[in-house]
Amino acid sequence: MSVGHSISRRAALIGSGALFAWTQLPRLARAEGRDPRMLVIVLRGALDGLGAVAPVGDPDWIGLRGERALVLDGKTPALPLDSFFALNPAMPNLHRLYRAQQATLVHATATPYRERSHFDGQDVLESGLVKPGGADSGWLNRALLALETEGRVNPVGSRAFGVGAVTPLIVRGKAPVMSWVPQKLLPASDDTAARLLDLYQHTDPKLAVALEGRMKLASLGTSAVEDTMADANPLVVPPGTRLRAYFAEAAGTAARYLAKAEGPRVGALGFVGWDTHINEGAAAGQLYNLLSALDGAIAAVETNMGEAWRETVVTVITEFGRTARINGTLGTDHGTGTVALLAGGALKGGRVIADWPGLKTEQLYEGRDLKPTTDLRAVLKGLLRDHLRVEERELAGSIFPDSAGVAPIAGLVG
């Protein structure tokens, strides 16, 4: 097999999936002079919510995590949010946004999934269904369809497009998905692509749809992204600075597309590596490095969005949390309640939303995990309704079926 260029780390790693949904803005929003953007970042592997946003005001916190508990007067002090919560010290950008009312943190949240399989958990997180298994579309894709059927989006321009070879479930569905991978590989000519499309149209309609998505994207004519890491060895897991560069590059690229006047308005990308079973290192180490990279990614989105940042919401979600206590190998095992991080100029931020369940053993879910008290779908529904202006009745219908009892959280944006 032959590839004429060395493979960039980013291209290799981004296979884990950065995706953008490509749609014109809702007409209603346009009429109001709005042009909202939404970027969803999925943290695969289950983020330790207590390691990201620590309940430093809870009297049981230090007893729970001992010397591994993030505290305000630690060696690397946690960043105070309010009288009760503090942010992991790896996230100064998010802290700055929080103080500027451009970040909202939702704690003790979870999807309706209550088991501990990553793959089922991600299935529920991304499908928007109550149970895992059998889903062939994601809630973000269906949200686009809901906009379309109401005639609020130009159907011709309604496309989802993907970065990476494996499409995450969250954007799979009837709204077509385009795929794009940062590359220096010489692309096939438009003529070859057109001929192949013609062949597919006669022999394989599904492949025709997939190829068509790629061709429409190419015609958008974005300039190639500078491939700064072309010579990097793609096989080494990037620690520290390289991890930061990779996260920032992936999210920053997404933002460049979202910022364009004719670009996509909704997107999703995934970051792997959050399954911290061993030596979690919340204050210094693995989780610290990951959160630092995530913080840089949020900053890159802010920078590359430019003016559009004030109409942007970045939503960071994960399949479930981790055990409240540290496990036998200084890490944490699969748990339940966790945090969702929201950042963006469109938010009415500067607060932690939490119905705090407490950390005493009898207050923990099954005696081991942070108990979820806020349904994550309430957050997502609130954003879809008030930010993207998705029809309210679709929220508990096609987008998050069987969620009539979960009211959207009002006032997240404003």
Q: Which of residues 254-283 bind other proteins (CB under 8 A)?
A: 272, 275, 277-278
Residues from 128 through 167 that contact other proteins (CB under 8 A): 132-133, 136, 162, 164-167
C-beta of 288: minimal distance to other proteins in Å? 18
Q: Is 407 in the site for other proteins (CB under 8 A)?
A: no
Comparing CB distances to other proteins, the nearer of 211 and 248 is 211
CA distance 67 to 350: 29
Comparing CB distances to other proteins, the nearer of 125 and 406 is 125
Alpha helices, DSSP H only, in 158-284?
190-203, 205-220, 240-259
| From 206-214, 223-231, 257-265, 343-351, span contacting other proteins (CB under 8 A) | 206-214
Comparing CB distances to other proteins, the nearer of 16 and 315 is 16
C-beta of 1: minimal distance to other proteins in Å? 4
In sequence order, the β-bridge partners of residue 271 are: 43
The single-letter code of the amino acid at 288 is Y
- By C-alpha distance, which of 273, 278, 286, 285 is closest to 331? 278
C-beta of 399: minimal distance to other proteins in Å? 19
Q: Is 221 in the site for other proteins (CB under 8 A)?
A: no
Comparing CB distances to other proteins, the nearer of 162 and 408 is 162
- Cβ neighbours for 399, distance < 8 A, ≥ 6 positions apart: 128, 139, 142, 143, 146, 381, 384, 390
Tokens for 379? Answer: 């957050």
Q: Which of 204, 226, 231, 355 binds other proteins (CB under 8 A)?
A: 204
Q: Is 225 in the site for other proteins (CB under 8 A)?
A: no
Q: Is 242 in the site for other proteins (CB under 8 A)?
A: no
C-beta of 5: minimal distance to other proteins in Å? 8
Q: Which of 1, 31, 224, 261 binds other proteins (CB under 8 A)?
A: 1
The single-letter code of the amino acid at 76 is T
Q: Is 3 in the site for other proteins (CB under 8 A)?
A: yes
Q: Is 179 in the site for other proteins (CB under 8 A)?
A: yes
Tokens for 182? Answer: 């940062």
Residues from 314 through 373 that contact other proteins (CB under 8 A): 327-331, 333-334, 366
Q: Is 191 in the site for other proteins (CB under 8 A)?
A: yes
Residues from 94 through 123 that contact other proteins (CB under 8 A): 115-120
The answer to whether the CB of 121 falls within 8 A of the CB of 113 is: yes
Comparing CB distances to other proteins, the nearer of 96 and 277 is 277
The dihedrals phi and psi of 11, each to the nearest 5 degrees, come to: -60, -35
C-beta of 144: minimal distance to other proteins in Å? 15
C-beta of 380: minimal distance to other proteins in Å? 22
Q: Which of 213, 296, 344, 349 binds other proteins (CB under 8 A)?
A: 213
Element (H, E) at 80: strand 79-80
Q: Which of 28, 71, 130, 181 binds other proteins (CB under 8 A)?
A: 181
The answer to whether the CB of 287 falls within 8 A of the CB of 295 is: no
Half-sphere exposure of 94 (CA within 13 A, CB side): 32
Tokens for 137? Answer: 């579309």
Q: Which of 28, 62, 193, 225 binds other proteins (CB under 8 A)?
A: 193
Comparing CB distances to other proteins, the nearer of 241 and 303 is 241
Tokens for 243? Answer: 């991890």
C-beta of 169: minimal distance to other proteins in Å? 8
**DSSP code, position 396:** I
Kind of pairing between the strands at 18-22 and 159-163:
antiparallel
The answer to whether the CB of 80 falls within 8 A of the CB of 274 is: no
DSSP 247-268: HHHHHHHHHHHHHSTTS-SEEE
In the numeric block, the tokens 């599904």 are attached to 206
